[in-house]
Structure 1
Amino acid sequence: MAAAEVRHRTVEVASGVRLHVAEAGPEDGPAVLLVHGFPELWYSWRHQMRALAARGFRAVAPDLRGYGDSDAPPGRDSYTVLHLVGDLVALIADVGQPRVFVAAHDWGAAVAWQLCLLRPDLVTAFVALSVEYHPRNPTRSPVQTLRAVCGDGHYICFFQRPSGDDHYIAVCSGLPPMLPFWSSGLPRAALLQSAQGSEGVLSRKPGVAEAEFGRGDIKCLLKKFYGMRKAAPLIIPPGKTLFDSIDSDGTCPAWLSEEDISYYAEKFEKTGFTGGLNYYRCIDLNWELTAPWTGVPIKVPTKFIVGDQDLTYNIPGVKDYIHKGGLKACVPNLEDVVVMEGVAHFINQEKPDEVSDHICGFFSKF
């Protein structure tokens, strides 16, 4: 949407963290909080912001902490689900309406599900894209579950690696010159040196995953990531790197323009990817922190939308869970499940008009 149609401001949330927020639509319209995923930004909702504003809604799309023009606190433990939900609660308070609508994608959906669980009083209705709600397993952590179902090569397990093995040290040390990918702006050589601990392996800063995202031109890497279409979990085989394992040739997806890619690349060149990767690294910590809510259902009225080629939808067992009553049992006010044929993970950008119509139509009921 045209830059003139979007208002930008900064909101201070918990512990002095400042979030960049983009808005569109009448300020007195019903607020819709739009929560992005990885590796994305507020900009991922540009199409829905236009559609919502045209229908009289106030679209509110933050860069989550660690992303874009928002602050990126140092340290993994600043990215727990309690921090992230706290940011959304503070943003809702700043909006000045007692309750808001929420639409969220990917990691944004994971956080928004927890918002609905912990603060249902703040959410009128919710549209979740790509990532369904899974209740807390009282006996096995999420990473343990992923390893059991998909093996240690699953990309989320890969993102957990705070230190590397000899293979990944070799990969990193053999990389071609690259753009800086760490928030300090250090060049590649300094980054690699700072990444190696006393035993010569990658430490938590920057880590194996950051090195993967920094191994080439950032525009090409983002095109490859956004272009994923394989209807299967993303698995990194032994001896392969993350981006070598993605079924994409690195050309720009038809639903993205070079201008869009340039916007994403500019922001991630500045911030790096550690903020977003820390969300993944807190998955098991979140499991520990949310133990008091084990077994609590989510009662917010909800619609779930996913593409049939989405890698998350094709994890073993997920389709049965969604369509055979498991999701409904955990979300009793789940009103609709929409599976969009031929659509992959970045659904709100790949099918902007259809997703906008689903969101606007659902929220207009309330």
Structure 2
Amino acid sequence: MSSPEDWQLHPGISSRSLPVRDLQMHILEAGNPKNVLILLLHGFPELAYSWRKIMYPLAAAGYHVVAPDQRGFGRTTSIKRDGAYPVDYPITYGENLTPYRLLNLAQDITILISALEHTTAHAVVGHDFGSLVAGCCTLIRPDVFKRVVMMSAPFSGFPAPLFSEDAPGPSNKGPHAFPPSVDQELARLDSPRKHYTSYFSSPQANEDMCRAPGGLHAFLRAYYHVKSADWSPNNPHPLSSASGESLALMPGYYIMPIDQTMPETVLPYAPTREEIEDNTWLPDAELSVYVSEYRRTGFQGGLNWYRCLIDKSGQLAKELMEFGPLGGRIEVPAMFIGGAKDWGVWQSFSAVDKMKELFVQMGDANFILVPDAGHWVQQERPEQVLQRLQTFIAETES
């Protein structure tokens, strides 16, 4: 197993773990702890390490910068209720899903602030699934999270607590719920397809990826490649509807061939040896950190986040109704950053418009698409992301 000392991080970035609720949470950290706090939340399949290129520059600009391995990822582990010892990996498919629900993930981050001896976060920045956590944090505690930046995945609010006509109790419908009818519609296409969310929620997904043909390194190299700007077929645009025909315009890593695994879907488009040698944003030494960590932990912790999106129990809606009314718009300063070559920005029909409506201070001016960047925008184009973040924070401070 590699260690943070082997990760070739900037000397100003350190690694440690601290107790947060039922977790022993691993964080990467930079800057003076007395400075105001910026939190960086990764997505899937990523780690705190995904922020390595912008952490120290933000710290040098006068911030306390912290990137956690979120619940189910990396070096963050669960602690037994009696505090006796940490529960190590692997996480199994039968794991209790309650800790992985969006509201609980946001509570993890809220309590992390106190564990770091802060009372507020000057900004919370989330990428991919971390964008949904960041948006949720701001929605439930705008007094704690003073600014929010969502990256690559729009956050447009909680699923509405509607009642299903064919189920006893609230359904999990809404902007971030996954309706089963989507897969049914995709399966009826001339070239039958399935949604990646349903695949990631399946019992076999973790094993498929851990035991990918050619090995884990080859799979992750192909997966990061096809979702980046390096893969020329990525030419995203807003969808015209939420229909199966419209969704099927997206690449296979989002709308998959019905009989394929994720490795089978992406490996045919793996980069050439020359493309790998020319890759400056994720050279093999850096990719090897992800490979080492996911070889040790597996993917199931992160996959459990996706399982919560299609959970038919209605538990998320129940939790929100117990939490209290969460209507209205969010007043804190907000920005969205995506890659111009990232289908993730547009994968959910109308989500961008709903996000702009939800966040009062966003609008078109703070909706940024970085040229020549794909899904991994803060890794592919760290300088542009850093400049946008610093400008946004400075302008909203003044």
TM-score normalised according to structure 1 size: 0.80
Aligned AA for 1:7? S
The one-letter code of the counterpart of 1:115 is C
Q: Helix, strand or coil: the match of 1:91?
A: helix
1:1-366 equivalences in 2 (<5 Å) = 2-15=9-22, 17-72=23-78, 75=95, 76-100=97-121, 101-135=123-157, 136-139=159-162, 140-141=173-174, 142-144=177-179, 147=182, 151=186, 153-161=194-202, 207-216=203-212, 217-229=215-227, 230=234, 231=236, 232=250, 234-246=254-266, 248-250=269-271, 252=276, 253-283=279-309, 284=311, 285-291=315-321, 292-293=324-325, 295-315=327-347, 317-318=349-350, 321-322=351-352, 325-334=353-362, 336-365=366-395, 366=397
Q: Distance in 2 between matches of 1:345 and 1:286?
A: 27
Distance in 1, matches of 2:70 and 2:348, equals: 30
Which of the two has greater helix per residue?
1
Mean CA deviation greater in 19-28 or 223-232:
223-232
Number of aligned positions between the proteins: 316
* Rounded Cα–Cα distance in structure 2 between residues aligned with 1:56 and 1:21: 19
> What's the CA shift string for 1:285-329, capped at 9, x where partnerless?
4344334445342222101011122122232634xx53xx53222
Task: Judge conservation of contact 1:103–1:359 (CA < 8 Å) in 2.
Answer: no
SS at match of 1:240: coil
Equivalent position SS for 2:226 = coil
Q: Which amino acid aligns with 1:158?
A: Y
- In 2, Cα distance between equivalents of 1:146 and 1:106: 24
Unaligned regions of 5+ residues in structure 1, if any? 162-206
User: 1:118 Cα shift?
Assistant: 0.9
Scaled by the length of structure 2, what TM-score is found? Answer: 0.74
Q: What is the Cα deviation at residue 98 of structure 1?
A: 2.1
CA contact (8 A) 1:228 1:345 kept: no
Distance 1:307 1:2 in 2: 24
Stretch of structure 1 that moved more, 281-290 or 122-131: 281-290
Structure 2's unaligned 5+ residue stretches are: 1-7, 79-86, 163-172, 188-193, 228-233, 237-249
Whole-angstrom distance in 1 between the partners of 2:320 and 2:180? 17
Residues 90, 256 of structure 1: CA spacing in aligned structure 2 closer, same or farther, 3 A cutoff?
A: same
Partners of 2:370 and 2:384 within 8 A in 1: no
The SS at the match of 1:219 is helix
Supply the distance in 1 between the matched residues of 2:161 and 2:111 (Cα, whole angstroms): 29
